[in-house]
């Protein structure tokens, strides 16, 4: 007689009911990018008069330089000061919430309450960073690489850049170059923008754009600049945070990008309250931001924070948790902000 096995399948005999799928009760969170865009907002109210729905900042206008000498016996005419330049920051409510049921808490294989709190807290930081980026990316000063970089990049500084149109000429070979960083830094210095750290301006760059910048070879390129560095390999930009051409680089996948380059369809969209227009369906165009101090202003009526709401249902089964804040942003000194537009050779669709 053939052997009969007590197995897990129960084809002839066995106890398959004792063999079950096992689950790891520790549930991992999704991959996250560290929020950093809000850090650019370094201008805040100093002597706010009162609470309000908006905060108005003002910037004095300097007097014109006097280049002629005084006459000994002539009293010079008085010159009136120019009007101030107002910058308005509108305060808006932001928030999000989740409502967990008591049944979920009792039946879940993992402790879900701490996870919800963590996810809500990250959603707060993530959401606010996105709102800030919508304000920054709409600045008026732009530099764009076109058609493989055969000629100098077009820009608002040379009058060849048109928002909503220039991007449509950016193709898959229009990658960022060192000259774009040099131009941005030169314009910021010419605009008298104050650097953010020592003599360095802040540069937010997408990792896939950073790849092209750090891959550039030849005279005037990043690698050529470091080839003869005294400390050899230790001088190389680490790929996360480093300095080059007068800018302090911070890599982040948060930097705005969309498919509004060559091959774009007729459809358009807007990003942010500033009405920054982009097309869709073409080459992916990345926005690298270079900023000095006071490029962005922030006003806060209530700092964003996590809120544990009251349980108010009849059987106390629904547990609310969310985040809430009242604040706003506006570009404060456009002269301290430059946007560089380019594609990325490793992600252009």
Contact 291, 349 (CB under 8 A): no
Measured distance CA(43)–CA(227) in Å, rounded: 39
Residues of the chain falling short of pLDDT 50: 229-240, 273
The DSSP letter of residue 175 is B
Measured distance CA(216)–CA(181) in Å, rounded: 13
Q: Give the pLDDT score at 325.
A: 98
Q: Give the pLDDT score at 140.
A: 95
Contact 117, 321 (CB under 8 A): yes
pTM confidence score? 0.87
Q: Give the pLDDT score at 233.
A: 38
Nearest to 172 by CA among 106, 247, 261: 261
Domain boundaries, the chain: 37-59+83-134+298-330, 150-295+332-342
Q: Give the pLDDT score at 230.
A: 44
What is the signed CA dihedral for 211, 336, 190, 61, rounded to 10 degrees? 170
Q: Give the pLDDT score at 281.
A: 72
Q: pLDDT tens digit string along 148-171?
A: 666 788 999 999 999 888 988 999
- Taking phi over 0 as left and psi of -120 to 50 as alpha, with beta for the rest, 316 belongs to left
């Amino acid at each position: 007689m053939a052997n009969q096995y007590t197995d897990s399948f129960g084809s002839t005999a066995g106890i398959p009911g004792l063999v079950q799928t096992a689950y790891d009760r520790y549930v991992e969170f999704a991959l996250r990018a560290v929020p950093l865009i809000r850090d650019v907002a370094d201008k805040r109210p100093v002597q706010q008069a009162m609470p309000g729905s908006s905060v108005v900042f003002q910037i004095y206008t300097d007097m014109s330089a006097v280049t002629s000498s005084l006459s000994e016996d002539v009293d010079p005419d008085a010159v009136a000061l120019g009007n101030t330049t107002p910058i308005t920051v509108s305060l808006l409510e932001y928030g999000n919430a989740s409502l967990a049921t008591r049944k979920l808490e009792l039946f879940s294989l993992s402790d879900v309450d701490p996870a919800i709190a963590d996810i809500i807290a990250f959603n707060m930081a993530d959401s606010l960073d996105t709102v800030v980026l919508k304000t920054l990316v709409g600045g008026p000063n732009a530099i764009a690489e076109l058609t493989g970089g055969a000629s100098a990049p077009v820009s608002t500084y040379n009058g060849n850049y048109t928002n909503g149109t220039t991007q449509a000429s950016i193709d898959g070979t229009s990658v960022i170059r060192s000259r774009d960083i040099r131009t941005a830094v030169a314009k910021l210095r010419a605009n008298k923008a104050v650097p953010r750290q020592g003599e360095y301006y802040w540069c937010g760059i997408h990792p896939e754009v950073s790849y092209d910048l750090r891959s550039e070879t030849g005279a005037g390129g990043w690698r050529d600049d470091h080839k003869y560095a005294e400390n050899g390999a230790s001088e190389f930009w680490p790929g996360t945070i480093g300095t080059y051409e007068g800018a302090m680089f911070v890599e982040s996948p948060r930097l705005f990008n969309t498919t509004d380059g060559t091959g774009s369809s007729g459809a358009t969209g807007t990003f942010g309250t500033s009405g920054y227009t982009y097309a869709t369906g073409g080459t992916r165009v990345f926005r690298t931001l270079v900023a000095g101090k006071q490029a962005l202003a922030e006003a806060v009526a209530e700092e964003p924070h996590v809120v544990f709401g009251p349980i108010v249902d009849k059987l106390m089964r629904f547990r609310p948790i969310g985040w809430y804040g009242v604040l706003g942003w506006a570009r404060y000194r456009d002269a301290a902000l430059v946007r560089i537009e380019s594609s990325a050779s490793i992600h252009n669709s």
